[in-house]
Amino acid sequence: MSKILIVDDEPHIRMLLEQTLEELEDEGVEIFTAENGEEALSAIQEEHPNLVFLDVMMPKMNGFDVCHAVKRELRLPEIFIIMLTAKGQEFDRVRGEEVGADIYMTKPFDPDEILDKAYEILNIPH
């Protein structure tokens, strides 16, 4: 069974992403949320999700650090990490590459695009 983790410090983004991905629950996908980097890291270790939507700008531990910890320290390259970055803020591609992020998407996100991507990554026929 596939698992998706949504990490964002803004409650409305978490809610919107959760709602966007909700129909995947009918396919047996489990969706979790985390409010900050630290919480995200322990959730990843505990639940081992297949896909993580990871906000870049977060208090305590930012998205790059979380990604680095997962991909480089915990050595979990199979966890697909989508970095979420605010539109207008230039995404630091070099840093993203360094920490091993798979792709990045911009907020405000296009719900259909997010959903299509999730189907694709989890390999669920859509």
Partner 1 sequence: MALISFKKFVTKGYFAQLLNSLSGSLQCVPEITDVDGVVLWGQPTEGEPLPITTGEQFWGHVRAPAPHGRIFADLTAHYLQRELDRRILAAEALEKYREITFLYAFSGKIASCLGIREVCQLVIAEAHKLIPSTSAMVMLYQEADHRLEMIASISPSTTPPLSLSPTQGIEGHVFTSGRAEIVNHVSADPRHDSSYPTDYALICAPLKTQDRVMGIIRIGTSEQIHYTAAELKLFTALTAQASAAIENALLHEHKIREERIKSNLERYLSPQVAQTVISATGEISLTTSKRRLTMLFSDIRNFSSHCEELDAEDMVTYLNEYFTHMVSVIFSHRGTVNKFVGDMIVAMFGAPATLPNHEQRAIAAAIDMQRCLAKIPVPWIQQHFLTGIGISTGEVVVGNIGSPQHMDYTAIGDEVNVAARLQGLAKGGQILVSRSVYDAARSNYTFRPYGDIVVKGRKNPVEIYEVIYT
Backbone φ and ψ of 104, nearest 5°: -135, 150
Write out the binding residues for partner 1, residues 13-52 only, by CB under 8 A: 15-16, 18-20, 23, 25-26, 30
110 sits near partner 1 (criterion: CB under 8 A)? yes
Sign of CA dihedral 23, 28, 29, 31: positive
The region of 9-17, 49-57, 61-69, 70-78 touching partner 1 under the rule CB under 8 A is 9-17
Q: Which is nearer to partner 1, 12 or 75 (CB)?
A: 12
111 sits near partner 1 (criterion: CB under 8 A)? yes
Instruction: Count CB neighbours of 41 within 10 A.
Output: 19
State which H helix or E strand residue 112 sits in: helix 111-122
Binding residues for partner 1, rule CB under 8 A, total 15
Helical packing angle, 111-122 and 11-21, nearest 10°? 60
Binding site for partner 1 (CB under 8 A): 12, 15-16, 18-20, 23, 25-26, 30, 108-112
